[in-house]
Copies of this chain bind each other. A is one copy, B any other.
Amino acid sequence: MIRPSESPVLGSRVDGRSRRHRRVGHLSTSDTILAAAAHVFRTKGYQAATTEEIANLSGIRKASLYHHIKAKEDLLYALCTDSLARITAAAEQVSAQGAEPVTRLRELVRLHVVTMLADQDKHAVMLTELRSLHGARRKQVIALRDRYEGIIRQTLAECQTDGTIRDDDTVKALSLALLNLLNWTIFWYKPRNEMSAAMVADFLARIFLFGAAGPKLHQV
């Protein structure tokens, strides 16, 4: 049974051997289903994705799916919380480093882009299929997202204070512009791109940091 707080991330399981039936990449059945769901949800959208297609891609029959989940929406919820839990945990580590604000901001951008592009299916689903999640679970995912954005905004504010980012724009406007710049990448980046995810991240970070530079950065 896939439970929100326990849902593992693709490729994260190392103890696959304890399972009776191993699959390609050492994923448990639940993990295989999650990966399949992410792929189909991303490609066709949540509503157009059928449980039958997810099952087939997972190597089982449609009915067997319901041994692992209670409803199709469970898969969406698991993917969203998984995506956000991971990226938020990493961002909080960066924030706790105590490095210069602008250095942390660069790291947050890199982390955001690299994490997002390392598992595009899952993060694309979180970013674009949230409207198909309903009730309390939708609110919960939005709260997780707000918490993550809070880390970005806090760092931006610190950059304004030390003069590396101009302070005549609001933190809110700056964070929206930054997330604009980063998030839309999910729609066009292909792993076989001439640029690696890290290169894309640094390219976008450079545009933002020059574009929103404060007095201090100009002296460098």
Contacts and interface: CB of A to CB of B under 8 A. Distances in A.
Interface of A: 43-48, 128, 131-132, 169, 173, 176-177, 179-185, 188, 195, 203-204, 206-213
Nearest to A49: B47
A128 B130 CA distance: 13
A204 B188 contact: no
Nearest to A44: B131
Contact of A203 (B173, B185, B188, B206): B173
- The complex is assembled from copies of this chain, and their number is 2
Contacts of A44: 47, 131-132
A179 B211 CA distance: 15
A104 to B, nearest CB: 19
Contact of A211 (B46, B173, B195, B206): B206
Given A47-B45, A128-B128, A211-B211, A181 B176 contact: no
Contacts of A176: 185, 188
A180 B204 CA distance: 10
Given A47-B48, A128-B128, A132-B45, A207 B212 contact: yes
Nearest to A213: B210
A47 B46 CA distance: 9
Contact of A184 (B180, B188, B206, B209): B180
B177 A180 contact: no
Given A46-B48, A177-B181, A207-B207, 19 more contacts: A44-B131, A45-B45, A45-B46, A45-B131, A47-B47, A169-B203, A173-B195, A173-B203, A176-B185, A179-B184, A180-B180, A180-B182, A180-B184, A180-B204, A181-B181, A207-B208, A207-B212, A210-B212, A211-B211
